[in-house]
């Protein structure tokens, strides 16, 4: 199993030793820490498939972030931060057990082995299928996790808003796909300046209307970027979200964009995750039909503008990426680059994605993903025999796709806790969870209950620091989330 080592991700895929210049990048790192990082990297490299080098500017900024003391205002870190300070680097060096580390609860953790499994499994799936992956960065908003995805060959990082794009750009990410329309004039002007300042920066955004094209063209005209902004024509579906509803409309939008001097049409985009049917079979049939439509339009656009160098077709969240991949790479498809944008696969879950994803649906050849997120909550009270109140609630965990599920107990005094089979969370308040359990269960105030979650996006957005645990419940690292 490949292990995580964020700064060490910059090591060369073809050499055991950090490249010249990379060691220099570690100038701010102590020799002891650097040795530790390097040893971790060696182990990681020998266990991983090909690793890609992180752009030096991203590596540099992550190194700085890694040394930053966590503020006492971060959930879980108040006692640690006031007791002398803690950073990702110091936590990784100390490797305390979750119970001994001095966290306050609730606390959201990432299981390191599950996380690295998911990143590697999805990368391998895409490589086998001949598709690229621009993981959706809105899921975790974590530059460290996005960096890990890049080192596993991700083509770029997807974002949903210009603000998210700016957050990733602040860490130097060189290729960002804004999977949304951009009509924010301040955002467009900023993007133009960023494109002008760095010829190595590549950005994409969506268009789905003549008005949208006109806004981009006007603002880019006022703020010349010295090169054209790459746009993807978004295709929508009835009752769906953004995106052209008709093929004729999509072609008109593409034509309008290509006649500007500020935009270049790089392909088509769609999102199948919002498609619904009366049954799973009907949903999958509709998803497949939507993808065929995308594919046909990509071909039509390519024929209409044979001079365009870049031809992209992008779709694919974490629910139906198998169908997307199959349809967009089917024999006879136009020669286009297929880019998936899956995000939730990164942490997967014990609920929604666990059942709807390709592996959850029992698809052969689906990447085997493992739930990585665990919310740790303390038992506050056992006011009735069959009820325990936990100190975590809607402020800490998503509940839009199902309530958390009890996984494990870490008793206050150490040792193994009771099995959680048959236990159920039935309700969440803002800061409390109602756990129904066997009245005889040996669960007492102060014990920790580990909860699996459903829907990573609405859990992760409640946290700005994520603690990484190994399989022995030791804290092995920490990553940041910029929500
Ligand atoms: C446009 C778009 N692309 C990709 C994704 C990623 O999907 P998932 O969260 O299922 O991985 C989303 C998620 O909302 C999305 O809105």
Q: pLDDT digits over 268-321, tens only?
A: 999 999 999 999 999 999 999 999 999 999 999 988 877 777 899 999 999 999
Contact 368, 389 (CB under 8 A): no
- Flag whether pLDDT at 3 surpasses 90: no
- Pick the more confident residue, 8 or 178: 178
Mutate to test the pocket of ligand 1, among 317, 338, 398, 459 (most ligand atoms within 8 A of CB): 317
pLDDT of 13: 34
| Tens digit of each residue's pLDDT (9 = 90 or more) over 372-419 | 999 999 999 999 999 999 999 999 999 999 999 999 999 999 999 999
Alpha helices in 246-375 (DSSP H): 247-258, 280-304, 321-328, 352-356
* Rounded-to-integer distance, Cα 18 and Cα 30, Å: 15
Q: Whose CA is nearest to atom 2 of ligand 1?
A: 271
- Residue 282: which residues within 8 A CB-CB, separation 6 or more? none
Reported confidence tier of residue 20, pLDDT bands at 50, 70, 90: very low
- Scored b (16 or more CB within 10 A) or e, 5-21 reads bbbbbbbbeeeeebeee
Burial zone of 36 (CB within 10 Å; 0-12 exposed, 13-18 middle, 19+ buried): middle
* Rounded-to-integer distance, Cα 199 and Cα 197, Å: 7
pLDDT of 52: 93
pLDDT of 5: 55
**Residue 342 CA, closest ligand 1 atom number:** 11
pLDDT of 6: 52
Tell me how crowded residue 400 is: count the other CB atoms within 10 A of its CB: 11
* Rounded-to-integer distance, Cα 114 and Cα 348, Å: 9
pLDDT of 24: 28
pLDDT of 289: 98
Phi-psi region of 261 (alpha: psi -120 to 50; beta: other; left: phi over 0): alpha
pLDDT of 300: 93
- Flag whether pLDDT at 53 surpasses 50: yes
What is the average pLDDT score of the chain? 90
pLDDT of 359: 95
| DSSP string for residues in 90-154 | HHHHH--BTTTS---SSEEEEEHHHHHHHHHHHHHHHHHHT-EE--BTTTT--HHHHHHHHHTT-
Length of the chain: 483
- Flag whether pLDDT at 7 surpasses 70: no
* Rounded-to-integer distance, Cα 52 and Cα 259, Å: 37
- Pick the more confident residue, 302 or 189: 189
- Residue 247: which residues within 8 A CB-CB, separation 6 or more? 235, 293, 296, 297, 300
Q: Residue 3: what are its φ and ψ, rounded to 5°?
A: -105, 160
**Residue 316 CA, closest ligand 1 atom number:** 4
pLDDT of 41: 44
DSSP label at residue 55: P
pLDDT of 49: 59
Q: Is the CB of 136 under 6 A from ligand 1?
A: yes
pLDDT of 111: 98
Q: Is the CB of 206 under 6 A from ligand 1?
A: no
Average pLDDT over residues 217-234: 97
- Flag whether pLDDT at 139 surpasses 90: yes
pLDDT of 22: 25
pTM of the model: 0.90
Query: Considering only 18-32, 53-67, 88-102, 393-407, which range has the smallest mean pLDDT?
Result: 18-32
- Scored b (16 or more CB within 10 A) or e, 290-310 reads bbebbbebbbbbbeeeeeeee
* Rounded-to-integer distance, Cα 340 and Cα 132, Å: 6
**Residue 271 CA, closest ligand 1 atom number:** 1
3-state secondary structure at position 299? helix
DSSP label at residue 217: H
- Flag whether pLDDT at 14 surpasses 50: no
- Pick the more confident residue, 38 or 71: 71
* Rounded-to-integer distance, Cα 375 and Cα 109, Å: 6
Average pLDDT over residues 6-16: 36
If you measure from the C-alpha of residue 269 to the centroid of ligand 1, how many angstroms do you get, rounded to a whole number?
A: 12
If you measure from the C-alpha of residue 182 to the centroid of ligand 1, how many angstroms do you get, rounded to a whole number?
A: 17
**Per-domain residue ranges for the chain?**
174-342
CATH number at 174-342: 3.20.20.10
- Pick the more confident residue, 75 or 28: 75
If you measure from the C-alpha of residue 141 to the centroid of ligand 1, how many angstroms do you get, rounded to a whole number?
A: 13
Reported confidence tier of residue 334, pLDDT bands at 50, 70, 90: confident
- Flag whether pLDDT at 428 surpasses 60: yes
If you measure from the C-alpha of residue 174 to the centroid of ligand 1, how many angstroms do you get, rounded to a whole number?
A: 21
Phi-psi region of 48 (alpha: psi -120 to 50; beta: other; left: phi over 0): beta
| Sheet of 202-207, strand order | 132-133, 337-340, 312-315, 263-270, 229-235, 202-207, 175-181, 157-159
Q: Whose CA is nearest to atom 5 of ligand 1?
A: 317
- Flag whether pLDDT at 202 surpasses 80: yes
pLDDT of 412: 95
Q: Is the CB of 319 under 6 A from ligand 1?
A: yes
**Residue 341 CA, closest ligand 1 atom number:** 4
Q: Is the CB of 343 under 6 A from ligand 1?
A: yes
Query: Considering only 57-66, 131-140, 301-310, 431-440, which range has the smallest mean pLDDT?
Result: 301-310
Instruction: Quickly tell me which residue has 């951009």 as its tokens.
Output: 182
Reported confidence tier of residue 356, pLDDT bands at 50, 70, 90: very high
Q: Is the CB of 135 under 6 A from ligand 1?
A: no
- Flag whether pLDDT at 188 surpasses 70: yes
Burial zone of 337 (CB within 10 Å; 0-12 exposed, 13-18 middle, 19+ buried): middle
Rg over CA atoms, the chain: 23
Average pLDDT over residues 164-182: 98
């Amino acid at each position: 199993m490949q292990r995580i080592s964020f700064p060490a991700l910059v090591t060369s895929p073809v050499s055991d030793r950090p490249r010249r210049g990379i060691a220099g990048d570690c100038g701010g790192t102590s020799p002891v820490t650097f040795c530790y990082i390097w040893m971790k990297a060696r182990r990681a490299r020998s266990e991983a498939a090909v690793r890609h080098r992180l752009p030096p500017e991203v590596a540099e900024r992550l190194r700085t972030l890694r040394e930053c003391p966590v503020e006492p205002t971060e959930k879980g870190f108040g006692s640690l931060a006031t007791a002398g300070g803690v950073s990702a680097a110091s936590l990784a060096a100390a490797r305390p057990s979750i119970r001994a580390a001095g966290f306050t609860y609730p606390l959201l953790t990432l299981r390191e082995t599950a996380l690295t499994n998911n990143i590697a499994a999805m990368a391998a799936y895409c490589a086998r299928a001949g598709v690229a992956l621009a993981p959706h960065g809105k899921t975790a908003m974590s530059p460290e996790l996005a960096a890990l995805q890049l080192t596993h060959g991700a083509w770029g990082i997807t974002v949903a808003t210009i603000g998210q794009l700016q957050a990733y750009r602040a860490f130097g990410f060189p290729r960002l796909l804004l999977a949304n329309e951009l009509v924010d004039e301040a955002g467009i002007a900023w993007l133009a300046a960023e494109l002008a300042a760095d010829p190595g920066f590549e950005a994409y955004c969506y268009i789905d209307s003549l008005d949208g094209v006109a806004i981009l063209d006007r603002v880019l005209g006022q703020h010349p970027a010295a090169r054209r902004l790459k746009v993807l024509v978004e295709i929508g579906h009835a009752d769906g979200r953004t995106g052209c509803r008709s093929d004729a409309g999509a072609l008109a939008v593409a034509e309008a964009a290509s006649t500007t001097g500020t935009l270049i049409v790089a392909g088509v985009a769609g999102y199948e995750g919002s498609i619904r049917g009366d049954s799973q079979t009907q949903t999958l049939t509709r998803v497949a039909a939507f993808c065929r439509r995308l594919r046909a339009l990509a071909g039509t656009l390519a024929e209409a503008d044979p001079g365009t160098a870049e031809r992209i077709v992008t779709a694919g969240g974490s629910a139906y990426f198998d169908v997307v991949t199959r349809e967009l790479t089917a024999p006879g498809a136009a020669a286009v680059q297929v880019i998936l944008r899956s995000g939730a696969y990164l942490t997967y879950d014990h609920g929604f994605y666990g059942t709807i994803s390709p592996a959850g649906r029992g698809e052969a050849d689906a990447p085997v993903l493992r739930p990585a997120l665990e919310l740790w909550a303390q038992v506050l009270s056992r006011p009735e025999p069959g009820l325990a109140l936990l100190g975590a609630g809607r402020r800490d965990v998503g509940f839009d796709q199902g309530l958390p599920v009890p996984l494990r107990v870490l008793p206050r005094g150490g040792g193994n806790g009771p099995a959680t089979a048959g236990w159920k969370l039935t309700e969440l308040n803002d800061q409390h969870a109602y756990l129904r359990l066997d009245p005889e269960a040996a669960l007492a105030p102060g014990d920790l209950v580990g909860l699996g979650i459903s829907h990573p996006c609405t859990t992760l957005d409640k946290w700005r620091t994520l603690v990484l645990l190994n399989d022995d419940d030791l804290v092995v690292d920490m990553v940041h989330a910029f929500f």
